[in-house]
Amino acid sequence: MGFCAAIKPDGARCKARVMQGSQWCFNHHPDHSQERRHNASKGGQRGGRGRPARSGAEGLKDIKDLLKSLTDDVLCDQVERATTIAANQLLNTALRATELERRWKEIEDLEGRLEALEGVLKARRQDERKRTRQALR
């Protein structure tokens, strides 16, 4: 797998690995500019390593409040048991979706960090080889 064909603003060549079937990495591929812009707009809206920012905690509090209210209502016979069961299932689905979204963001973050580390490691290996060849001359 080769390296990206893009030239950075400082004149250096990008050292990231290319995407399969392409000459560019994700960060320079023209087809992904919209996705990169969308991802960049999310900056600061989530905690470190994919944890949702404050809104995630508020969403969980809302769900817990709804569950408490449903429990109280069913125990006081204000809501039918079947309705409460359906609502509980929907809330459980919302919780699972929230957790999956958090995990997916964490995986995307880790993939990006791993790609950057691989690029740094590759560059260090190339520099080491250059120094070794120069020392042997």
Which tens digit of pLDDT belongs to each residue from 23-64?
988 788 888 778 777 776 655 555 555 554 545 667 788 888
CA 119, 125, 128, 134 torsion: positive or negative?
A: negative
Mean pLDDT along residues 122-137: 91
**69 in the same domain as 34:** no
**77 in the same domain as 19:** no
In a domain, 64, yes or no: yes
What backbone phi and psi angles, to 5 degrees, belong to 81? Answer: -60, -40
**130 in the same domain as 112:** yes
CA 71, 76, 82, 84 torsion: positive or negative?
A: negative
**55 in the same domain as 12:** no
In a domain, 34, yes or no: yes
> pLDDT value at position 63?
85
**87 in the same domain as 23:** no
In a domain, 46, yes or no: no
Counting the structural domains of the chain, the total is 2
- Report how far residue 61's alpha carbon sits from residue 19's, in angstroms, rounded to the nearest whole number: 41
- Report how far residue 134's alpha carbon sits from residue 41's, in angstroms, rounded to the nearest whole number: 45
**71 in the same domain as 6:** no
Do residues 15 and 4 lie in contact, with contact meaning Cβ atoms separated by under 8 Å? yes
Tell me the pTM.
0.44
Q: Single out the residue of 26, 21, 29 nearest to residue 1, CA to CA.
A: 21
73, pLDDT greater than 90: no
In a domain, 8, yes or no: yes
Among 8-17, 65-74, 114-123, which range has the highest average pLDDT?
Answer: 114-123
In a domain, 57, yes or no: yes
**129 in the same domain as 92:** yes
**121 in the same domain as 90:** yes
- Report how far residue 11's alpha carbon sits from residue 8's, in angstroms, rounded to the nearest whole number: 5
**18 in the same domain as 58:** no
Quote the domain boundaries for residue 76: 51-136
